[in-house]
Amino acid sequence: MIPVTKSFLPPQKEYQTILKRAWDQGWITNRGMLVKELEEKLKAYLEVPNMIATTNGTLPLQIAIKALGLKGEIITTPFSYVATTSSIVWENCTPVFVDIHPDYLTIDEGKIEAAITPKTSAILATHVFGNPCDVEKIEMVAKKHKLKVIYDAAHCFGVKYKGRSIFEYGDISTCSFHATKLFHTGEGGAIFTRDIDLHHKLFYHHNFGHKGQEDFYGLGINAKMSELQAAMGLAVFPYLEEIIDGRRKAVELYNELLSTSGPKIIKLREETSWNYSYYPLIFESEKQLVNIKEKLDKSGIHPRRYFYPSLSSLNYLKSQEVPVANSISKRIICLPLYHNLGKRDLKRICSILN
């Protein structure tokens, strides 16, 4: 069976050696030495000044909305994982969808201004498949209208844009370290901001609002990463180059073997140093996609329809017009991609597709 992705599992002995440090301390959560060590390693690797490790990649979105005090409408993308939209609704704000760019698949920066109303408080956009949004244009629009900017950068581990970590853009960026993501801690995630005061606020929000044992800075929730999760992260960390390199090779082979007259691959934004996180293909019609997916499924190859359906059709929302996102979400599929996807398997996938 060839799934859409496979988690990188470090050698179990190495994981256990790291876990033993938690055992020896008798300390398995509440920001022990493993979480702190993982944060230091990741900050250095990603070249970011601040980072908070969290227990998943969804709570950071909710905490970001809370920390920025957002109210009313939040402009967002209909082409993302459901967590992007559900976090807005969970925080009692209203998602207002702006359609996506037909090539980059990120929010269409040219259509944002038209969606702004007196109730708009922020833009929450996704760097989908690790492809950066037009962060410069979005920053301009946000400044002009005094809006906050949050990026759901769940797919962006290691991505750089114009030489800087993509996590450096916007007021707050979030990441996911879920088992299906490029770098993972089983379940896990992170929050990033350059603003040290905001960092402090995000920090206390993620830990019940605690100020020491008996005092509180303010409201909080529990989004702490445990030592058990951090141990997984520390065991995966030394293999990052290997993981990314394996994915890069698979992507290059797909590019080489897939017939150029068929479905389209997505366009990466210029000056992006990408992380090879997904291999999306856009078909001419949904019929063609369903047809191919059936053939692949029958051969034990299981691509996934990321992201389908468009989030604007969620049953707890009023439907909104986003024709590009509706059309693309019906015609896009992510091919299997992981660190050790073998050449023979990859050739088999391509020959069926071609």
Ligand X SMILES: *Cc1c(COP(=O)(O)O)cnc(C)c1O
Chain positions 152 to 191 lying near ligand X, rule: CB under 6 A, are 152, 154-155, 176, 178, 189
User: Which stretch in 2-10, 56-64, 217-225, 260-268 sits in contact with ligand X by CB under 6 A?
Assistant: 56-64
Q: Indicate whether 132 belongs to the interface with ligand X (CB under 6 A).
A: no
**What is the rounded CA–CA span in Å between residue 224 and residue 319?**
35
Q: Does 266 bind ligand X (CB under 6 A)?
A: no
Nearer to ligand X, 93 or 258 (CB): 93
Contact range with ligand X by CB under 6 A, out of 76-84, 106-114, 265-273, 325-333:
76-84
Exposed, middle or buried: residue 24 (CB in 10 Å: 0-12, 13-18, 19+)?
A: exposed
Q: Cβ of residue 244: shortest distance to ligand X, in angstroms?
A: 18
The DSSP bridge partners found for residue 189 are: 54, 176
Angle value at C-alpha 310, between 307 and 315, nearest 5 degrees: 120
Output DSSP code: residue 222: B
Shortest distance in whole angstroms from residue 154 CB to ligand X: 3
Q: Which residues contact 84 (CB under 8 A, 6 or more apart)?
A: 61, 76, 77, 124, 126, 152, 311
Contact residue for ligand X among 39, 53, 57, 98 (CB under 6 A):
57
- Choose one: 80-88, 159-167, 291-299, 308-316; the region binding ligand X (CB under 6 A): 80-88
Which C-beta is closer to ligand X: that of 155 or that of 205?
A: 155
Counting contacts by CB under 6 A, is residue 56 touching ligand X?
Answer: yes
89-116 b/e (C-beta count within 10 Å ≥ 16 → b) = eebebbbbbbbbbeebbbbbbeebeebb
For the CB of residue 271, give the shortest distance to ligand X in the complex, in Å.
22
Cβ closer to ligand X: 64 or 83?
83
Q: Which stretch binds ligand X (CB under 6 A): 77-85, 89-97, 239-247, 281-289?
A: 77-85
Segment near ligand X (CB under 6 A); pick from 51-59, 115-123, 281-289, 333-341: 51-59
Site string for ligand X, 236-265 (x = CB under 6 A): ------------------------------
Q: How far is CA 161 from CA 18, 73, 95, 103, 270, in A?
A: 33, 28, 27, 18, 8
CA distance 28 to 22: 6
Shortest distance in whole angstroms from residue 261 CB to ligand X: 30
Q: Identify the residue whose tokens are 């301009």.
A: 140
The candidate with the shortest Cα–Cα distance to 61, out of 111, 122, 144, is: 122
Q: CB of 7: closest distance to ligand X in angstroms?
A: 13
User: Smallest gap, in angstroms, from Cβ of residue 87 to ligand X?
Assistant: 8
DSSP state of 7: -
The two tokens of residue 103 are: 């090539």
Q: In whole angstroms, how close is the CB of 62 to ligand X at the nearest point?
A: 10
Is residue 126 involved in binding ligand X (CB under 6 A)?
Answer: yes
> Which residue in 5, 62, 77, 80 binds ligand X (CB under 6 A)?
80
Please tell me the distance from the alpha carbon of residue 80 to that of residue 124, in angstroms, as a whole number.
Answer: 11
* 233 near ligand X, rule: CB under 6 A: no
In the structure encoding, which two tokens stand for residue 67, read together?
């920390």
**CA 115, 69, 197, 40 torsion: positive or negative?**
negative
* Least Å from the CB of residue 96 to ligand X: 18
Crossing angle of helices 33-46 and 12-25, rounded to 10°: 130
Q: Whose Cβ is closer to ligand X: residue 184's or residue 339's?
A: 184
Q: Which residues bind ligand X (CB under 6 A)?
A: 56-58, 80-81, 83-84, 126, 152, 154-155, 176, 178, 189
